[in-house]
Amino acid sequence: MVRAIAISNNTDEMFVATDGDDTTGDGSEGNPYATIEKAATTGGAGTTVVLRAGNHKYTNDTWTFSGDRDKPIIVRPYPGERPVIHGGQDTYQTPGQSLWTLEDASINLWSTANSTWADSSIRAWLVRERLQLVQYDTLANLQATNYSVGESDAYTMPGLFVDTTDDKLYIRLDVVPADLLDIDSNSIKDPIPTKNPNLLQIAVANNTTAIFLSNCNHVVFRDLTLAYGETILDIRDGSQNISFKNCALITGEDGTVLRNNPDEIYFDRCLFTAFTPEYCSWRDVKSAPNHNYQASHFDGPCLNDLSATNRLRITNCIIERCFDGVKLGAGTTGSLIRNCIFRDVHDDAVLFPPGASDTSVEWNFFLALPRGHLDAKREFVNSQ
């Protein structure tokens, strides 16, 4: 959805709140706008867009605003507050509601009450537990009591299934018995404290992309959380000089996507994570002959460069709890990954393509990686 918004005179600060209004608001602290794009486009170059607390929800929104090199548009939180740029819905994020109905107590299977879903794509995260749930392809797999990877009907980890025939979302939060034992067969603590979803904070997204940055230029995002979407950001169409400083990006399969040759994209002191659970192993995703339970939906990088991005800089960041960390695009030039920590990355920390030039991966710390640091197999070449 592209919103056409008229440009007016620049002002230093524009305020945005979840109870603001793009029609009656004027962007002041006492009468804020409702959306970031309204504030940024109205204020123009040099504007600081100040977000008040709460979940600022965006679904398939396209932002086209731009600042100048010496007067960027800055998007930051109100002092002392922690707003979230939210790619899903927060219907289930308040514990204590009766939104889920018990379907089968023997396997702790629950379903939503009175919910309608537009399509069969769904992503969900347990917010407090910092766990992403897997999406199952069939209800039979979600209901299964067979826990063997690769079987035609198998339950392998906590997850959910959206049934468009009865407009219900089904959820099951049991961790399989084998995943509650350590290497010496000693019991370990269940990471999910209750199997009743009404008592948990659950972020649900049934959109592919939260926000498209299309031909955006000279914009700084600072001290923000961008969370909950299969893709939280799609930076495209020649966007240039976009910076993320001290931000957290919590995503699904495709993370943050770069495409159509953006230039000068900077991430500094940021956290990239998919909250992929420890019990979701590389074998669950890559080795099973049958993927009906769809753990393959976890198989994606936190930062996915689909084009030849120029001057992509990732510095002083943490990339954790995902299957792949950073995938650089073929033909990338002038890019840098430096002083980053890669930890609990289930497959490859960095996918380094052929054809890259003047690109360096240096002075990084790799911790608890079961597979590898740099992918140097088949279609990718190694980097020194």
Q: How many residues does the chain have?
A: 384
Check whether 215 has a pLDDT greater than 60: yes
Please report whether residue 176 resides in a domain: yes
Same domain for 107 and 73:
no
Residue-level pLDDT at 284: 67
Please give the average per-residue pLDDT across 126-136, as a whole number.
92
Identify which has the larger pLDDT, 308 or 263. 263
Same domain for 275 and 178:
no
CA neighbor of 279 nearest in space, from 170, 155, 171: 155
Residue 33: which domain range? Answer: 1-85
Check whether 82 has a pLDDT greater than 80: yes
Check whether 295 has a pLDDT greater than 70: no
Give the three-state DSSP class for 205. Answer: strand
Identify which has the larger pLDDT, 240 or 299. 240
Residue-level pLDDT at 293: 44
Same domain for 284 and 356:
yes
User: What whole-number distance in Å separates Cα of residue 9 and Cα of residue 150?
Assistant: 60
Cα-only R_g, the chain = 21
Same domain for 349 and 246:
yes
Same domain for 369 and 265:
yes
Q: Which of 77-81, 242-246, 264-268, 280-284 has the lowest mean pLDDT?
A: 280-284
- DSSP conformational letter for 248: E
pLDDT digits (tens, 9 = 90+) for 12-70: 899 999 999 999 999 999 999 999 999 999 999 999 999 999 999 998 899 999 999 99
* Torsion, Cα of 214, 322, 349, 376 (10° steps): -90
Please report whether residue 175 resides in a domain: yes
Alpha carbon 291 to its chain centroid, in Å, reads 22
Question: Using 50, 70 and 90 to split pLDDT, how confident is the model at 228?
Answer: very high
- Give burial (CB, 10 Å; 0-12/13-18/19+) of 207: buried
Check whether 190 has a pLDDT greater than 60: yes
Q: How many domains, in total, are found in the chain?
A: 3
pLDDT digits (tens, 9 = 90+) for 323-356: 889 988 888 889 999 999 999 888 888 888 777 8
Residue-level pLDDT at 120: 60
Report the CATH number at residue 28: 3.30.1910
Identify which has the larger pLDDT, 210 or 291. 210
Please state whether beta strands 109-112 and 168-172 pair in parallel, antiparallel, or not at all (unpaired).
Answer: antiparallel
Check whether 317 has a pLDDT greater than 90: yes
DSSP states along 307-371 = S--EEEEEES-EEEEESEEEEPPTT-BS-EEES-EEEEESSEEEE--TT-BS-EEES-EEES-SS
Question: Using 50, 70 and 90 to split pLDDT, how confident is the model at 205?
Answer: confident
Please give the average per-residue pLDDT across 242-264, as a whole number.
92
Please give the average per-residue pLDDT across 233-252, as a whole number.
94
Same domain for 246 and 158:
no
User: 43, 59, 85: which is the final residue of a domain?
Assistant: 85
Please report whether residue 231 resides in a domain: no
Give the whole-number percent of the chain exceeding pLDDT 70: 85
Please report whether residue 224 resides in a domain: no
Check whether 79 has a pLDDT greater than 90: yes
Residue-level pLDDT at 301: 85
Give the whole-number percent of the chain exceeding pLDDT 90: 55
The angle formed by the CA atoms of residues 228, 233 and 234, to the nearest 5 degrees, is 140
User: 62, 85, 108: which is the final residue of a domain?
Assistant: 85
Identify which has the larger pLDDT, 255 or 199. 199
Same domain for 378 and 245:
yes
Here the tokens at position 71 are 């007067």
Check whether 197 has a pLDDT greater than 80: yes
Same domain for 172 and 46:
no
Computed over every residue of the chain, the mean pLDDT equals 86
Q: Which of 242-251, 252-261, 350-359 has the lowest mean pLDDT?
A: 350-359
Residue-level pLDDT at 280: 80
Please give the average per-residue pLDDT across 244-262, as a whole number.
91
Check whether 287 has a pLDDT greater than 70: no
Q: Which of 37-46, 128-137, 160-169 has the lowest mean pLDDT?
A: 160-169
Identify which has the larger pLDDT, 106 or 382. 106
